[in-house]
């Protein structure tokens, strides 16, 4: 081996070994990626939450509801008294679909006519909506075939059956851009403020200028606020930029309140800025800060429903996703932009951000102040 190359390689190897935190992150990242991609990257939709409005209240309508319950595709999470309740649950994201059985359903079956039922679907996520669309018809057709088999003695032309008519709301054309572009707002806000806040502070530490700031009359909270406010301004500029491009270039409809979106985005930024501060307090170099940022922020992409529906994930990963702020932000963004709903529809998500945001930012600020001492 080249005599000059070997010392360089040896020096770099020693440098890596002497930095155990960076070495640990380098070994942990592949494991995290494997777990997330192996379990979270799953597009097989199972147990999709739906609401049921049974206006017929007969044995036949209950059999149809039970057929949907027995399938692997749907899980009945609510029984409602009118269609408006289904609309409210869809607006808030509590359910992804709604089965509507009209009056006279059983009478149509008994008279050998095709009994029509409606199935409304939240189309904001095209991958979920496409599966729900096909599954809603297949379950109804299977139940219809079962009824026909029970009536084989009747003339075939009068056997009737069940006709399921799916209706897709919010994104009737199932355009993926309508689903992905709003989500990019949350993703970009997270990475922009989290990563660059961490890098900015670590860069000061690497260059030795942060020690100079500490010995000045500037208070620690003034230093923290002064470092993060510029990134808040940049984040809101990017928010407007993404919305403008999404509307003019991709044709994404904005149906809700932009001021409401901006106000909630500010709440979400508390979590991302706190994450950046925390990363800066536990790292000593920009390289290490980037690796730790990747390790901390990367799981949020998969555990937030950005790429893959949460319903398709194993229960343990779904439980972990409740502490991922991006999960709540994506529900809010898609609700405002695609559904045009207001604060009451996603107040649970706002409460979650209102709890997580201050906790993360205050905890990270205390850790950062301690690292300066």
Tens digits of residue pLDDT in 337-346: 988 888 888 8
pLDDT value of residue 47: 80
pLDDT of 26 above 60: no
In the chain, DSSP assigns E strands to 48-54, 74-79, 97-101, 114-122, 161-169
Spatial distance between the Cα atoms of 217 and 214, rounded to a whole number of angstroms: 8
Neighbour-count burial for 177-205, b at 16+ CB within 10 Å, e otherwise: ebbbbbbbbbbebbbbbbbbbbbbbbebb
Tens digits of residue pLDDT in 103-134: 988 888 777 777 788 899 888 877 778 878 88
**What is the rounded (10 degree) CA torsion for 365, 220, 238, 264?**
50
DSSP label of 335 = I
Looking only at the bridges linking them, the beta strands covering 114-122 and 97-101 are antiparallel
Cβ contact 42:312 at 8 Å: yes
**Average pLDDT over the chain, rounded to whole?**
78
Neighbours of 345 (CB within 10 A): 22
Give the residue ranges of DSSP H helices in 251-285: 258-282
Tens digits of residue pLDDT in 167-178: 788 877 777 777
Spatial distance between the Cα atoms of 128 and 46, rounded to a whole number of angstroms: 10
Q: Which two tokens stand for residue 22?
A: 């960076």
State the pLDDT confidence band at 32, using cuts at 50, 70 and 90. Answer: low
Give the highest mean pLDDT range of 136-140, 296-300, 339-343, 363-367: 339-343
- Tell me the mean pLDDT in the region 140-162: 59
Cβ contact 114:160 at 8 Å: yes
Query: Among residues 145, 142, 149, 157, which one has the least CA distance to residue 112?
Result: 157
Would you tell me the crossing angle of helices 258-282 and 176-207 to the nearest 10 degrees?
A: 40
State the pLDDT confidence band at 328, using cuts at 50, 70 and 90. Answer: very high
Share of residues in the chain with pLDDT > 90 (%): 11
**Edge-to-edge strand ranges of the sheet holding 74-79:** 74-79, 48-54, 97-101, 114-122, 161-169
Choices 3.30.200.20, 3.60.15.10, 3.40.1710.10, 3.30.420.40: CATH for 48-169: 3.40.1710.10
Cβ contact 334:211 at 8 Å: no
Domain boundaries, the chain: 48-169, 175-372
Cβ contact 256:342 at 8 Å: yes
Locus of tokens 């199972």: 46
Query: Among residues 78, 102, 75, which one has the least CA distance to residue 90?
Result: 78
Report residue 58: phi and psi, to 5°: -125, 170
Locus of tokens 């343990």: 316
pLDDT of 157 above 60: no
Angle value at C-alpha 109, between 105 and 111, nearest 5 degrees = 115
Higher pLDDT, 3 or 185: 185
Query: Among residues 308, 273, 321, which one has the least CA distance to residue 293?
Result: 273
pLDDT of 148 above 90: no
Locus of tokens 């100079």: 212
Alpha carbon 94 to chain centroid, angstroms? 13
């Amino acid at each position: 081996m080249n005599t000059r190359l070997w010392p360089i390689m040896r020096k770099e190897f020693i440098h890596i070994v002497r930095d155990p935190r960076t070495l640990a992150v380098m070994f942990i990242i592949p494991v995290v990626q494997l777990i997330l991609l192996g379990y979270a990257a799953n597009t097989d939709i199972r147990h999709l939450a739906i609401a049921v409005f049974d206006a017929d209240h007969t044995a036949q309508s209950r059999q149809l509801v039970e057929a949907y319950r027995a399938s692997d595709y749907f899980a009945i999470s609510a029984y409602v008294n009118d269609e408006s309740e289904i609309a409210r649950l869809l607006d808030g994201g509590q359910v992804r679909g709604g089965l509507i059985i009209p009056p006279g359903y059983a009478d149509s079956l008994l008279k050998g006519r095709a009994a029509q039922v409606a199935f409304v679907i939240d189309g904001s996520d095209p991958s979920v909506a496409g599966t729900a669309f096909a599954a809603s018809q297949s379950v109804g057709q299977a139940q219809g075939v079962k009824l026909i088999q029970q009536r084989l003695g009747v003339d075939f032309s009068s056997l009737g059956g069940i006709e399921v008519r799916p209706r897709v709301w919010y994104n009737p054309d199932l355009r993926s851009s309508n689903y992905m572009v709003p989500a990019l707002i949350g993703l970009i806000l997270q990475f922009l403020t989290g990563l660059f806040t961490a890098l900015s502070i670590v860069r000061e530490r690497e260059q030795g200028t942060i020690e100079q700031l500490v010995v000045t009359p500037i208070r620690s909270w003034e230093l923290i606020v002064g470092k993060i406010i510029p990134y808040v301004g940049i984040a809101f500029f990017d928010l407007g930029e993404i919305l403008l491009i999404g509307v003019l270039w991709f044709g994404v409809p904005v149906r809700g309140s932009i001021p409401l979106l901006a106000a909630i985005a500010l709440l979400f930024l508390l979590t991302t800025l706190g994450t950046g501060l925390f990363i800066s307090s536990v790292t000593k170099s920009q390289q290490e800060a980037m690796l730790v940022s990747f390790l901390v922020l990367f799981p949020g992409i998969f555990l937030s429903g950005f790429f893959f529906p949460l319903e398709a994930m194993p229960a343990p990963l779904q439980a972990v996703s409740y502490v991922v702020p991006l999960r709540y932000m994506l529900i809010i963004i898609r609700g405002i932009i695609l559904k045009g709903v207001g604060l009451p529809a996603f107040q649970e998500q706002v409460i979650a951000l209102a709890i997580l945001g201050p906790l993360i930012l205050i905890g990270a600020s205390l850790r950062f102040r301690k690292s300066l001492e």
